[in-house]
Amino acid sequence: MNIAISDKILSKFPKLNVGIVVVKGIDNTGKNREIDKLLKEIEEYIKLNFVAEDLAKHKLISPWRVVYSEFGAKPSKYHSSVEAMMRRILKGNTLPQISKLVDLYNYLSLKHLVPMGADDIDKVFGDIQLTFAQGNEKFTPLGETKTEHPDKGEVIYRDDNRVLCRRWNWRDCDETKITEKTKNAVLYIEGIPPITKSKLIEACKELVDLIKTFFKGEAKYYILNKSKNSVEI
């Protein structure tokens, strides 16, 4: 399987870095008290240190709003995954506990304030690419069964058959979602300025270490950017 960022994406966003973390042979069943604790602690941190009305101007949130605008998504309507989680918490709601792996990367996403997502490798068809949508690709939103299409020019992750995530990191597809049955997965950690490559590497290393600690599986990370835009896994 090849994972790549298209040349057109890197031409428009030349300072983009994407961390690719590949995990294999994990046990994602059941719950883990330590992961639950980490998630609860970061939720409390968000509540104590952020105000919903100020998020749009935050130095790590506002750049994603600019990016969304640049590919035609209204940032007042569509939020990056990390902003959406923060807004949910600041409204007084807790994050849904979906599975150990999802809970873990949600924790790290909030800790580093960078968007993160994942796909079950065993449910992906062919290669994965971060690219601009043609508008005719198929997409089934998480938790739904009805198929829709992305807007032309929208930034998407896709495999050879369908869209894996719409509006860059806004909404995952249902077919490749992480479940308790997931054994092998690819995770994405997305960095745009002011997030540097070194900061992204720090987040990747932390994720790899935590996966090895809690899941006892294999984990490796790669950084994709203008210098190296693809990796074979």
Q: What is the pLDDT of residues 41-82, one digit of tens each?
A: 999 999 999 999 999 999 999 999 999 999 999 999 999 999
The pLDDT of residue 221 is 98
| Mean pLDDT, all residues of the chain | 97
pLDDT band at 98 (very low <50, low <70, confident <90, very high): very high
Share above pLDDT 90 across residues of the chain, in percent, rounded to a whole number: 98
Q: Read off the CATH number of the domain in which 8 is found.
A: 3.50.40.10
Q: If you average pLDDT over residues 135-141, what whole number do you get? A: 97
Kind of pairing between the strands at 116-120 and 2-5: unpaired
Give 8's contacts (C-beta < 8 A, 6+ positions apart).
Answer: 131, 132
Inform me whether the pLDDT recorded for 232 exceeds 90. yes
Question: Given a cut of 90, is residue 24 above it in pLDDT?
Answer: yes
Mean pLDDT of 6-18: 98
Helix axes 33-49, 100-112, angle to 10 degrees: 30
**Domain limits at 220?**
2-232
HEC profile for 143-199? CCCCCECCCCCCEEEECCCCEEEECCCCEEECCCCCCCCCCCEEEEEEECCCCCHHH
Within 8 A by CB and 6+ apart from 67, the residues are 13, 155, 168, 192
Q: Is 38 left (phi over 0), alpha (psi -120 to 50) or beta?
A: alpha
pLDDT, position 166: 98
Cβ atoms of residues 212 and 21 within 8 Å: no
Give me the pLDDT at residue 151, please.
97
Q: H-helix or E-strand containing 119? A: strand 116-120
**Does residue 216 have a pLDDT over 90?**
no
For residues 106-126, give the mean pLDDT: 98
Split into its structural domains, the chain has a count of 1
DSSP count for the chain of H helices, then E strands: 6, 10
Q: Is the pLDDT of residue 113 over 90?
A: yes
